[in-house]
């Protein structure tokens, strides 16, 4: 082969290599940017065909980031109305030692707050007969009520306050959406010993002071059925005993004497006295008290005759009797109660009544008073302290 022939073959091979390189560049471009080359037909890439990779080493492929879902607008809840525990919790202590202020402080300490959701109401009822039995009703409104009871609570007063307060706090926290752990989830709930060590206002001693106003219908105290009125003061130093002091007056008029010679001979009789009583009390229900009383009554028994030919002089004598009876009190308001009583009076000094004519002679047969009298009374008792 001649040199010219070798030269033409080399030129031809270089031309073919150049054409192949230009074809690769054209394939990497879009169809609209394809460059026509002489003697080469360029075929546009279809959409399903991936673009040819560029010559040279392949670089790292960037990772696609997942798109976050569209955010919904933040829901804004209106604030829930709240009220103080002192308004939400009411107490009727009954025969227990529970004190309202002390109990509410304990509940607030267990909850870690002194307010609860507005609909929540808690009514606490101490047993009327047992000092360590308590029940309470938690009312969340809309008919949602639940009752809890502690039938055999601690006999110690401080521990009873703690036990009842914890039960109330648990019941409130169980459904209160404003609870932030409080009595249910805290790992640092203090025990009774810790609570007892916390400085707290000492429980005040029990003291009760009340006044009563009564009306009575009596029989046998004087000679016939007679009306009476009484006022009294009550003092209680312990829950189960009342001490009373009172004053009573009664009168009856135009009483006749059997066998009187004159048809127009009468006498009047009256009794004014004071009495002292001791009354053991039993709290039969949260708003009901039953009492059994015993005491003594002393006063002045006075009689006076009147009528034609009858001496008008009056006579007074001492009157002394033992008394005893039963009374029931039903609470009408926080400091006002309606009371009904039945009492017996047994005179220790006998009395008889004689009518005397103006000349000093007897105007009839003596009238002897009965050995026992009955007093039935109705009145109001107002608690002062």
CA atoms within 13 A on the CB side of 300: 6
Report the alpha-carbon distance of residue 24 to residue 20 in Å, rounded.
6
The whole-number pLDDT of residue 320 equals 93
Report the alpha-carbon distance of residue 384 to residue 235 in Å, rounded.
10
Report the alpha-carbon distance of residue 350 to residue 102 in Å, rounded.
55
Region for 116 from its dihedrals, namely left if φ exceeds 0, alpha if ψ lies in -120 to 50, beta otherwise: beta
Taking the alpha carbons of 199, 205, 206, 208 in that order, is the dihedral positive or negative? negative
List the domains of the chain with CATH numbers: 82-197 (no CATH), 208-383 (2.40.160.20)
Region for 7 from its dihedrals, namely left if φ exceeds 0, alpha if ψ lies in -120 to 50, beta otherwise: alpha
Residue holding tokens 């209680």?
Answer: 236
What's the CA angle centered on 181, arms 81 and 122, to 5 degrees?
50
pLDDT in tens, the chain (385 residues): 444 444 343 334 433 343 344 334 334 444 444 444 344 444 444 444 444 444 444 445 455 555 555 555 555 656 667 788 888 888 888 888 888 888 888 888 888 888 887 778 888 988 877 888 898 888 877 777 888 888 888 888 888 888 898 888 888 877 555 555 444 444 444 544 554 454 555 567 888 899 999 999 998 888 778 899 999 999 999 888 999 999 999 988 877 776 655 566 778 888 999 999 999 998 877 788 999 999 999 999 888 877 776 766 667 788 899 999 999 999 898 889 999 999 999 999 877 777 777 666 767 677 778 888 999 999 999 999 8
Report the alpha-carbon distance of residue 61 to residue 235 in Å, rounded.
96
262, 309 in Cβ contact below 8 A?
yes
The whole-number pLDDT of residue 366 equals 74
């Amino acid at each position: 082969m001649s040199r010219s022939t070798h030269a033409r073959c080399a030129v031809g091979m270089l031309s073919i290599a150049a054409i192949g390189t230009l074809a690769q560049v054209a394939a990497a471009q879009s169809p609209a940017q394809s460059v026509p080359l002489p003697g080469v037909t360029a075929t546009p890439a279809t959409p399903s065909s991936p673009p040819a990779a560029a010559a040279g080493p392949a670089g790292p492929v960037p990772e696609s980031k997942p798109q976050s879902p569209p955010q919904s607008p933040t829901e804004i809840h209106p604030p829930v109305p709240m009220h103080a525990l002192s308004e939400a919790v009411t107490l009727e202590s009954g025969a227990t030692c529970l004190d309202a202020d002390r109990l509410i402080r304990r509940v607030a300490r267990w909850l870690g707050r002194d307010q609860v959701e507005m609909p929540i109401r808690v009514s606490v009822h101490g047993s009327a007969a047992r000092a360590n039995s308590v029940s309470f009703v938690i009312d969340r409104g809309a008919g949602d009520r639940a009752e809890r009871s502690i039938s055999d609570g601690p006999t110690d007063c401080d521990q009873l306050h703690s036990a009842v307060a914890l039960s109330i706090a648990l019941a409130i926290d169980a459904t209160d959406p404003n609870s932030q752990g409080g009595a249910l989830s805290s790992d640092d709930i203090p025990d009774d010993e810790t609570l007892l060590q916390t400085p707290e206002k000492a429980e005040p001693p029990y003291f009760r002071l009340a006044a009563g106003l009564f009306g009575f219908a009596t029989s046998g105290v004087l000679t016939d059925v007679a009306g009476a009125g009484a006022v009294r003061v009550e003092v209680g130093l312990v829950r189960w005993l009342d001490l009373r002091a009172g004053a009573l007056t009664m009168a009856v008029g135009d009483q006749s004497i059997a066998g009187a010679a004159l048809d127009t001979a009468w006498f009047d009789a009256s009794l004014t006295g004071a009495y002292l009583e001791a009354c053991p009390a039993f709290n039969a229900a949260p708003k009901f008290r039953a009492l059994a009383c015993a005491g003594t009554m002393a006063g002045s028994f006075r009689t006076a005759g009147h009528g034609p030919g009858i001496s008008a002089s009056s006579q007074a004598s001492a009157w002394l009797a033992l008394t005893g009876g039963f009374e029931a009190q039903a609470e009408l308001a926080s400091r006002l109660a309606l009371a009904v009583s039945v009492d017996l009076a047994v005179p220790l000094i006998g009395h008889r009544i004689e009518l005397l004519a103006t000349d000093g002679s007897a105007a009839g047969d003596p009238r002897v008073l009965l050995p026992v009298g009955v007093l039935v009374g109705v009145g109001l008792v107002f608690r002062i302290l």
